[in-house]
Amino acid sequence: MKRRLLLIGALTIFCGCAALNQARQDPIATNYISQLAGMHLTMIDEFTLTSTNTPPPVSELHSTCRDGNRMFRQAIFYADNISGKDSTRSQALENLGEQFHDDCSFIEKNLKKSDGLSRADADRLISTVTANYNAALNGEKSRNGPAK
Amino acid sequence: MNKRLKASAKEFLTGLVAAYRDCGQDLVSSSQRVQGWLDDLAAGNLSEDTFQYLLTSEKRTVDQILRTNTIQNRAAVQHVGDLLKDAIARFVQKI
């Protein structure tokens, strides 16, 4: 009986601490993640070579990547300075930002080599990038309590 | 036993189980993606360079799943994730 009480006590303290340390879901951060996902996935599609789509030149990719990087910086700045800051939120955005940055280089390489991504490669990339954004959104939604 | 304490403990344990289940489903999807790419690679429908790039991207996605998907049980999931990553690293070395 004593053991059970001790276990329950420990669990309660753990849950209490966890609840106190958790940031709440933030609608602005959620919105940032959704907007970044839209921008990122649109970029992949735009630079995919298909029978109906000829990707724009590299200069346009550079412009898209600059704008995208700026959006990521804004989102990370917001996450770093939000009240009830949670480091996992910043980490989630940094992870996505690194993926975006690497995708810019990957697409540029493909543009120079074969005028754009193939549809099959684009679909493969979209599947993992989408899963990454969904995980980040789930992380935001799983934060304790309702949105502020 | 105090009913409130019991409910609190039950809620915690239910959350823990749900966390593992959700995380597990995401990781299964991840392994299925990599398996599909391995099949494409073997069939000559995917270049080695692109496969490497996709694998790096997928590792980042797995990191996202493990580090941010589950806030409440972060430490426990991280531990399981580290074990999984070790297993994946050993598997990749064998390929």
**pLDDT tens digits, A15-51:** 443 444 456 788 999 999 999 999 999 999 999 999 9
Q: Tell me which of A3, A93, A104, A132 to substitute to probe the interface with B (most B C-beta atoms closer than 10 Å).
A: A132
B11 CB-near residues (< 8 Å, 6+ apart): A15
Query: φ, ψ for residue A117 (rounded to 5)?
Result: -75, 150
Contacts of B22 in chain A (CB under 8 A): 138
Mean pLDDT for the stretch of residues A135-139: 89
CA distance A30 to A138: 10
CA distance B67 to A92: 8
B14 CB-near residues (< 8 Å, 6+ apart): none
Within a domain: residue A16? no
Within a domain: residue A112? yes
Task: Tell me the residue range of the domain where A91 lies.
Answer: 26-141
> A17-48 in b/e burial notation, b at 16+ Cβ within 10 A?
ebeeebbebbeebbebbeebbeebbebbebbb
For A138, which residue in chain B has the nearest alpha carbon? Answer: B69
CB-CB under 8 Å, B1 with A4 = yes
Identify the pLDDT of residue B24.
73
Q: Tell me which of B28, B57, B58 to substitute to probe the interface with A (most A C-beta atoms closer than 10 Å).
A: B57
For chain A, how many structural domains are there in total?
Answer: 1
- For the stretch A71-108, pLDDT in tens is 999 999 999 998 767 788 899 999 999 999 999 999 99
